[in-house]
Amino acid sequence: ARNSEYVDKSGLISVVNASLNTEQAFMCVTRSRRFGKSMAAKMLCAYYDQSCDSRHLFADLSIAQDPSFEKHIGKYPVIYLDISDFVTRYHDESVVTQINQKLKKDILKAFPNVTTEDDDDLMDCLSQIVSQTKQQFIFIIDEWDAICRDFPVGTTAMDSYVNWLRRMFKGGQSMQVFAGVYMTGILPIKKYKTESALNNFIEYSMIIPRNMACFFGFTKHEVEILAEKHGVSFEEL
């Protein structure tokens, strides 16, 4: 992204930083397609992920001047999950089982020295890792609603997914395991009757964007700058 025409949306990071380990730490951003949701999610991965040094990607962006920049950059193990990828690969009732099994396999591979039980589910494993390493996770989910769009309410896949969301994000361990959870999707949480499973999430929709409005899509000022840069008439555009 930084090698192409990039509009600085790094201010989003400061908003997420301010939410970590608070009652607002579980966030869901919903927008229609082509608003840069996936781009923003990948930016957050690059910033928080402790497995890489990404300072050069942010050095000339606005977030580098933010007081919270150094505090959180590269400080967390990050789990990135694209639900639509699983729906495409496993378009049947096994999709949630596949998500759980493959994430668990990746997590245990990344933390080979952590002791877990054979019958531990993903949340059990994460809880053990946090307990033994004293490191919380950042969990970033793109297209959280892909399963909801493909499987009607009442199907085994949908019921399993709601139960999985509740197990991951509503249990007593969730606040200890995750410093922050950031989800994106197309339509709001309430659309799919998952509200009870996700009612601890702060939702930033197109109707109620709160302080997220300027980070998705382009503002008028940003378009004016691009038009001037490329010699295009803003009025005509």
pLDDT of 208-221, one tens digit each?
999 999 999 999 99
Is the pLDDT at 188 greater than 90, yes or no?
Answer: no
pTM of the model: 0.94
Each residue's pLDDT tens digit, 142-160: 999 999 999 988 899 999 9
| pLDDT of 115 higher than 80 | yes
Q: Which residues contact 83 (CB under 8 A, 6 or more apart)?
A: 99, 141, 142, 143, 144, 145, 146, 147
172's tokens: 């007593």
